[in-house]
Amino acid sequence: MNESPNRPTPEAFLRQAAQEGRGRLKIFLGAAPGVGKTYEMLTDGRHRREAGVDVVIGVVETHGRKETEALIHGHELIARQAIVYQGQSIDEMDIDAILARRPQLVLVDELAHTNAPGSRHPKRYQDIEELRDAGIDVYSTVNIQHVESLNDVVASFTRVRVRETVPDSILESAEIEVVDIPPDELIERLKDGKVYIPAEATRALNHFFSKSNLTALRELALRRAAQAVDAQMLDYVRAHALAGNFAAGERVVVALSEQDSAPGLVRAAKRLADALHGTWTAVHIETQRSQNLTDSERDRLAETMALASRLGAATATIPAATVVDGLLAFAEDARATQIVIGKSARPWWFELRYGSVVDRLVRNLGDIAVHVLPGDSNMPIQPRVRSARPGRWGKPADYVWTLAAIVACTAASRLLIEFIALGNVALFYLVPVMFAAATFGLRAGLFAGLTSSLAYNFFFLPPTGTLTVNNPENVVSIFVLLGVAIVTSQFAARVRAQAVLAQSSARQNAALAGFSRQLTSSGSQEELMHAICAEISRLFDCRTVMLLPSRDGPQVRAAYPPENRLEDIEKAAAQWAMDNGQPAGRGSSTLTASDWLFHPLQTTRGILGVIGFAREDANETLRSDQIPLVMSLLDQASIAFDRLTLEEEMQDARQLRERDRLRSVLLSSVSHDLRTPLTTILSTIHELRRTPSEEMLDTLEGEALRLNRFVANLLDMVRVEAGALSLRVEATDLTDAVSAAVHDTRKSLADHEVILDIPPDMPLVRVDARLFHHCLINLLDNAGRYADPDTPVRIECRRTPFGLDLSVVDEGPGIPAGKEERVFDTFTRLEGSDRSKGGTGLGLAIVKGFAEAMGLEVFAKNNIAPFGARFTIHVPATTIVSDIDEEAMQ
């Protein structure tokens, strides 16, 4: 593991490479409002501008502070974009204007700000990420309570939970400058009205801005900035393969084993990390010896690792040839500054044979502090008794194959003895020794070495056929052969052990990768839950069930095999696991009468559900060496499940926002398009009572028709979105259809000349005449409303190789570039154009819905000469009535 200590870490190198070409982000981090973040940002921006950097202001909130407003003078301000939401105009940062201006540095205040609905991104930090992607540097400000990971911590002592948060990943990729003032000074600023107005300041002093809260927030800000700087420093040194631990922040590593004293090491490491305000990791070094642990030792190790995880440590299991090599490599990779390790009570002969792990660590760790904790002196030292396990000494077949290899070597040597020297025969016997050690392990290799020595003596050393050795030189040869065989078997067995560890790690990585692929390919919660159960069941040869919370308790949502059913005791164990976030059931410390073991699916948002495991034999449980892999799979499952849950919630939120938008626009449209004709109708009726006239009757009829058309459009739109259209397809003459539509919209087209350009040889088309009529009158009404006064409206029809196109062309303002598709959206009235005046935004949506229902296409574009809008209904060739069909109808 420690072959290339100066090799750059690929992950850190990739993270740094990902930042190449992107703009830098500098965050001015404060403990609370009023510490001067915006002031400091503007001051720094002014210094950069004076140094020749192209600096602009994207967004700055001065909150009425005169000293802050004074710093804005001299900076170029990018005008904000007005976004209309629920009848109100909200000013937001104009990303497109900044991208078009393309400065070197842009100042953007309030990183955690939530943009108005309708903005390109819901959050301002997403706007900043887009600017950085374009290569623009950004300065921004944020308070510590807006950091996502600290949101709960801040709320726990301030009793205020902020809703606008920033992901920690944004801070991790940014340069952070802490803007800090003492709490007493900030309180004085608050009393002087420099933060809030007097009424709000008094209320703030009694709640959020108490001295204890400000002190705690100040500590959080300083600590979070230190963590970000420490993480960036580690990325740099790993990417550039720099030696040393760079102890800007304390990083504690505790080495765990299967010993009874291991839980005490975990608690000691936790206390040390808390005292040093550092991070800590619990690591177990997996060696060849780990394969010989008893079941109770494996269980004890798994419980210790779980304890470390519960206490907040990161956990890792590292395969290595020896404990010392593994710890040295992990400490170097983690840039550890403190290592906690236990001193085991070993017999003198054990340390004489294997050496002392503590002594070797102290000699090789350099400037890393080593904390050696003794075991419990009151606990009697018990000899390690291993249960007899099949396979510990190998299978009988291993020794049979080893013996067969020695027999084959002996036979070959007997045939070649006339041609080779006796000393070379001894070398032949190293072949079965290496074969046995590399294939079957150390004990088989030692057996091969001893047997080879005896065979060499019996068959080749005089007097042959006996184990007697007459020549003293031959005695030396036997011992040399035996010694070489033992050393060779040791080396071969060590290589085999390393290969076994590598294969185990590769299998675990392959299982995690395959499991991840299964999860990412799932598109729904149901599919994901069944994939999780099926994959875990396959990997661990067990029955699997997933339960989610419901009003009636845990509910089975997926299982493999599908016929799994749970008894009351299992449901109680699942409920306990959900409530407490700890395993429950067989193999745990709670409700062990259950045949199932339940593990919670935990995320940052809480416990989503539980997964249960059971063997076909109720007395069997998951092996302790499988627990780390199970926990890794459960972490992946939790993340995938949480991702899908968030996606569904986001979809629901988008639908809710769209529903609110439609409701708002509908109310606005109804209030205008119903009230206007109704008001005209009522006033006309009032005038008719006094002085009846033909002109008033025409006005009354026109407004009634307008009102009727609006109500009809509402009903038609409901039918389109509900999919409740019933078609009555029949052969329709386009000339007759267009003439009827022009007649019905004569009021809308009163100020325009209607030009019909429809060749007389146009074929019949198979459409629903009523729906097609609605499409035409909505297009003509749209043209009459938006065409410039006293300009013609043209209706053209042309044959194409793929059918025919029927177009309505007006001479108006046209359609804004890039909005050609949006004009057909429900309740869409384009802003920034004369086409936003009047109307409900329903007519063109109805045209598109009706056309698609009949198998037609509709699209919009701008006409070139004369300029205006062109709306075209494309009738495919399959919908056109052929000449043969016409003859058949006649």
Q: With cut-offs at 50, 70 and 90, classify the pLDDT of residue 57.
A: very high
Q: What is the pLDDT of residue 652?
A: 73
What proportion of the chain, given as a percentage, has pLDDT over 70? 72
Q: What is the pLDDT of residue 564?
A: 60
| 6-10, 190-194, 209-213, 693-697: least confidently modelled range | 6-10
Look at residue 75 and tell me whether its pLDDT is greater than 80: yes
* Mean per-residue pLDDT, 516-544: 75
What proportion of the chain, given as a percentage, has pLDDT over 90? 9
Look at residue 835 and tell me whether its pLDDT is greater than 60: no
Could you tell me which CATH class the domain 10-240 is placed in? alpha beta
* Mean per-residue pLDDT, 541-545: 83
Look at residue 846 and tell me whether its pLDDT is greater than 80: no
**Strand partners of residue 868:** 863
User: Cis peptide leading into 801, omega within 30 of 0?
Assistant: no
* Mean per-residue pLDDT, 285-294: 73
Q: What is the pLDDT of residue 394?
A: 61
Out of 52-56, 201-205, 213-217, 774-778, the most confident range is 52-56
Look at residue 3 and tell me whether its pLDDT is greater than 60: no
Residue 88, burial from CB neighbour count under 10 angstroms (0-12, 13-18, 19+): exposed
Q: What is the CA radius of gyration of the chain?
A: 40
Which carries the bigger pLDDT value, residue 409 or residue 88? 409
Q: What is the pLDDT of residue 53?
A: 92
Q: What is the pLDDT of residue 56?
A: 93
* Mean per-residue pLDDT, 531-537: 80
Which carries the bigger pLDDT value, residue 254 or residue 882? 254
Burial 344-355 (b: 16+ CB within 10 A, else e): beeeeeeeeeee
Q: What is the pLDDT of residue 183?
A: 79
Q: Which residues contact 36 (CB under 8 A, 6 or more apart)?
A: 30, 179, 181
Q: What is the pLDDT of residue 625?
A: 56
Q: With cut-offs at 50, 70 and 90, classify the pLDDT of residue 380.
A: very low
Which residue intervals of the chain bear CATH 3.40.50.620? 251-347+354-373
Q: With cut-offs at 50, 70 and 90, classify the pLDDT of residue 54.
A: very high
Q: Cα(135)–Cα(131) distance, rounded to whole angstroms?
A: 7
Q: Which residues contact 356 (CB under 8 A, 6 or more apart)?
A: none
Look at residue 839 and tell me whether its pLDDT is greater than 80: no
Q: What is the pLDDT of residue 194?
A: 61
Look at residue 243 and tell me whether its pLDDT is greater than 60: no
| 100-114, 232-246, 286-300: least confidently modelled range | 232-246
* Mean per-residue pLDDT, 82-89: 78
| 181-190, 208-217, 399-408, 831-840: least confidently modelled range | 831-840
DSSP 48-98: HHHTT--EEEEE---TT-HHHHHHHTTSEEPPPEEEEETTEEEEE--HHHH
* Mean per-residue pLDDT, 200-217: 64
* Mean per-residue pLDDT, 183-208: 62
Q: With cut-offs at 50, 70 and 90, classify the pLDDT of residue 336.
A: confident
pLDDT digits (tens, 9 = 90+) for 138-180: 999 998 888 887 777 777 777 777 778 888 888 878 888 888 8
Level-2 CATH architecture, domain 251-347+354-373: 3-Layer(aba) Sandwich (3.40)
Q: With cut-offs at 50, 70 and 90, classify the pLDDT of residue 28.
A: very high
Which residue intervals of the chain bear CATH 3.40.50.300? 10-240
pTM of the complete model: 0.40
Look at residue 193 and tell me whether its pLDDT is greater than 50: yes
Level-2 CATH architecture, domain 725-879: 2-Layer Sandwich (3.30)
Which residue intervals of the chain bear CATH 3.30.565.10? 725-879
Q: What is the pLDDT of residue 162?
A: 78
Q: In whole numbers, what is the pLDDT of the chain averaged over residues?
A: 76
Which carries the bigger pLDDT value, residue 854 or residue 64? 854
Q: What is the pLDDT of residue 103?
A: 92
Q: What is the pLDDT of residue 832?
A: 43
Helix and strand numbers, DSSP H then E, in the chain: 29, 25
* Mean per-residue pLDDT, 198-211: 56
Look at residue 738 and tell me whether its pLDDT is greater than 70: yes
| 11-15, 532-536, 800-804: least confidently modelled range | 11-15
CA end-to-end span of the chain: 89
pLDDT digits (tens, 9 = 90+) for 89-118: 888 899 989 999 999 999 999 898 988 887
* Mean per-residue pLDDT, 490-501: 65
Look at residue 763 and tell me whether its pLDDT is greater than 70: yes
DSSP 554: -
**Do 106 and 60 meet the contact criterion of CB atoms below 8 Å apart?**
no
Look at residue 668 and tell me whether its pLDDT is greater than 80: no
